[in-house]
């Protein structure tokens, strides 16, 4: 077993953090998690700290502490809001993992590699450039890391959508469970049916993120986080039908938007951009770079079908306990 390392997960109580922590614990490391959720540790090497990980709290918490690795799962809606955090975090760790997203990629290269063109560089619509609060700020933060900071400290990760019992995505949302439980059909756009889904089980994503820690070759580099199983949205919908009894109806875009008008609503531009600049594109991933650095192989990942079955069982067990 490798030497035990000490890792801090900031905002690590959610989907990605849970599985990253699990993988680190299985490797024999010690994990502290700052999160807003009420969580109780069931492992001697796992500690939860309930707190809002704002700058003031982190300054106090990190005083006189040093971590071998910090994974920051917080999302910053602007570059300026992130800048004060970076020197603080890097001063207290040997490796900082910054959470970006596969959504930074444009639709110019297939399969997508880490050097693929980005939305920030190609799409110059003024309203989009000034107001988009997810993909573009992440890309700007990446540029800040590369151009204005010491690249011997950081690693950028760009996860695809990572589903778990906390989140089930099928094209644009977490409707599959509710529709199946209510015995209502879920309408999906035919144009997305044969597009490769930017989707993976959170367990695979957590394995990849945890495996990038303590790797010298990961420093100063960006990695797309995906097991690259290549399922289309149609394949994923079929899994929900098989495992959950979900009825799916593939319809034209006019009917789809009529069923879910919030996607095109003028006052909901973030969702509209999410569909136009992500879900409406094929997100086939070349994950050879992350596999080379982590040493993981295709057979080390759980098939999406099995990951989905696992998370549906967890979800159902939770519902039973809540009754």
Chain-wide mean pLDDT for the chain? 96
Q: State the CATH number of the domain containing residue 188.
A: 3.40.50.720
The model's confidence at residue 13, banded by pLDDT at 50, 70 and 90, is very high
Res 320: pLDDT: 84
Q: What gap in Å lies between CA 191 and CA 184, rounded to an integer?
A: 21
The model's confidence at residue 74, banded by pLDDT at 50, 70 and 90, is very high
Q: What gap in Å lies between CA 148 and CA 88, rounded to an integer?
A: 15
Considering its fold, how many domains does the chain have in total? Answer: 1
Within-domain flag for 1: no
Within-domain flag for 295: yes
Res 39: pLDDT: 92
Q: What gap in Å lies between CA 4 and CA 40, rounded to an integer?
A: 22
The answer to whether residues 96 and 156 touch, using CB atoms and an 8 Å cutoff, is no
Per-residue model confidence as pLDDT tens digits over 123-138: 989 999 999 999 999 9
Within-domain flag for 131: yes
Q: What gap in Å lies between CA 6 and CA 24, rounded to an integer?
A: 9
Per-residue model confidence as pLDDT tens digits over 185-233: 999 999 999 999 999 999 999 999 999 999 999 999 999 999 999 999 9
Res 267: pLDDT: 82
Within-domain flag for 64: yes
- 3-state DSSP helix/strand/coil % of the chain, to nearest 5: 45, 20, 40
Res 158: pLDDT: 98
Domain that holds residue 246: 6-322
Q: Which secondary-structure segment (H or E) carries 241? A: helix 233-244
Q: 304-322 and 233-244 are packed helices; what angle lies between their axes, rounded to 10 degrees?
A: 40
């Amino acid at each position: 077993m490798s030497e035990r390392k000490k890792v801090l997960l900031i905002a690590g109580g959610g989907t990605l953090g849970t599985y990253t922590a699990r993988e680190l614990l299985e490797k024999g490391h010690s994990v502290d998690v700052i999160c807003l959720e009420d969580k109780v540790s069931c492992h001697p090497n796992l500690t939860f700290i309930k707190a809002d990980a704002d700058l003031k709290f982190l300054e106090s918490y990190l005083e006189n502490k040093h971590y071998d690795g910090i994974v920051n799962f917080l999302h910053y809606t602007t570059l300026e809001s992130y800048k004060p955090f970076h020197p603080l975090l890097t001063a207290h760790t040997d490796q900082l993992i910054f959470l970006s997203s596969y959504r930074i990629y444009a639709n110019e290269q297939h399969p997508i590699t880490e050097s693929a063109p980005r939305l920030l560089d190609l799409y110059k619509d003024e309203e989009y450039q000034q107001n988009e609060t997810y993909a573009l700020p992440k890309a700007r933060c990446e540029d800040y890391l590369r151009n204005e900071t010491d690249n011997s400290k950081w690693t950028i990760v760009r996860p695809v959508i990572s589903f778990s019992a906390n989140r089930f995505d099928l094209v644009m949302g977490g409707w599959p469970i509710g529709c199946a439980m209510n015995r209502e059909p879920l309408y999906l756009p035919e144009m997305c049916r044969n597009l490769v889904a930017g989707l993976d089980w959170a367990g695979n994503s957590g394995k990849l993120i945890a495996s990038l820690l303590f790797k010298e070759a990961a420093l100063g580099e960006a990695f797309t986080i995906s097991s690259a199983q290549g399922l289309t949205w149609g394949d994923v919908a079929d899994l929900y039908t098989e495992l959950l009894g979900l009825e799916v109806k593939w319809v034209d875009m006019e009917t789809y938007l009529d069923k879910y008008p919030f996607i095109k609503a003028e006052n909901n531009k973030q969702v509209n951009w999410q569909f136009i600049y992500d879900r409406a594109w094929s997100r086939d991933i070349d994950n050879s770079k992350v596999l080379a650095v982590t040493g993981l192989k295709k057979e080390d990942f759980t098939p999406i079908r099995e990951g989905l079955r696992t998370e549906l069982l967890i979800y159902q067990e939770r519902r039973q306990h809540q009754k």
